[in-house]
Amino acid sequence: MKKYAFITGASRGIGRACCLELAEQGYSILLNYKSNDKAALNTKNEIEKFGVSCDLLKMDVADKVEIQTRLGDWLENNPNVVIEVLVNNAGIRKDNLMIWLSDEEWESVLNTSLNSFFYITRMLIKPMIANRYGRIINVVSLSGIKGMPGQTNYSASKGGIIAATKALAQEIGRRNVTVNAVAPGFIKTDMTEDIDEDSFKKMIPANRFGKPEEVAAVVGFLASPKASYVTGEVININGGLYT
């Protein structure tokens, strides 16, 4: 059976870095993205330099019908593949104070992060349980632990995944399937390009924003056999900002 890692929201940023980290470990990659074909193809080319395969899965993870159809079709068309590693990375920000937060701003953020975690993970844990091996890593956020003003929706989505991570870890730990989360702080990606690093880094003991590769390195450890006794954990990657 060919071993794959599936990463959502993976054409850029933390997702892209996770793809490269796991490809270096020898996993073929199932790369999910929503719309940026150019970035996805660029990441695919970088992945294949490690001598592994990369399949692109273009779908909106906020849409459960797309998940069930497109991921379901891929699984059906690849019967000789096993997805051993799942990285639930997809997420969006639509910041606003709650008094002005619209239904769309609430629902789209929760659908992209929290609901996609549920629908995708539920599809993929059955074969992991049957094979008695699997690694599920959820990319959450400092916002989901600490809470951030103007991010009630984003904090709720990431906080929900944190709670679900701990619960699911207890459900399937006996089957050698681990479930963990990484909680990045300020990382240099598209999601933080509107934030003034010079102003905010003063609050961070490390005095800088993090790099996507630093998050991916922790994801890579959690995905490896070396992390077999680590489950139900949330690992902060924030330069000491909040521990």
179 within 8 A of 168, measured Cβ to Cβ: yes
Whether 154 is a known active-site residue: answer yes
Rounded to whole angstroms, the Cα distance separating 55 from 73 reads: 13
Q: How many helices (H) and strands (E) does the chain have?
A: 10, 7
Instruction: Return the closest-CA partner of residue 62 out of 31, 100, 104, 11.
Output: 104
* Residue whose entry in the numeric block shows the structure tokens 């199932």: 30
Q: Is 99 helix (H, G, I), strand (E, B) or coil?
A: helix
Inter-axis angle of helices 212-223 and 13-24, nearest 10: 40
Q: Would you say 212 and 13 are in contact if contact means Cβ atoms under 8 Å apart?
A: yes
Of 4, 119, 154, 242, catalytic: 154
Q: How far, CA to CA in Å, does 17 sit from each of 8, 10, 46, 141, 218?
A: 12, 8, 10, 16, 11
β pairing state of 2-7 and 81-88? parallel
Q: Is 142 exposed, middle or buried (0-12, 13-18, 19+ CB in 10 A)?
A: buried
The secondary structure of 195-217 as a DSSP string is S-HHHHGGGSTTSS-B-HHHHHH
The residue type of 223 is: A
Annotated catalytic residues are: 154
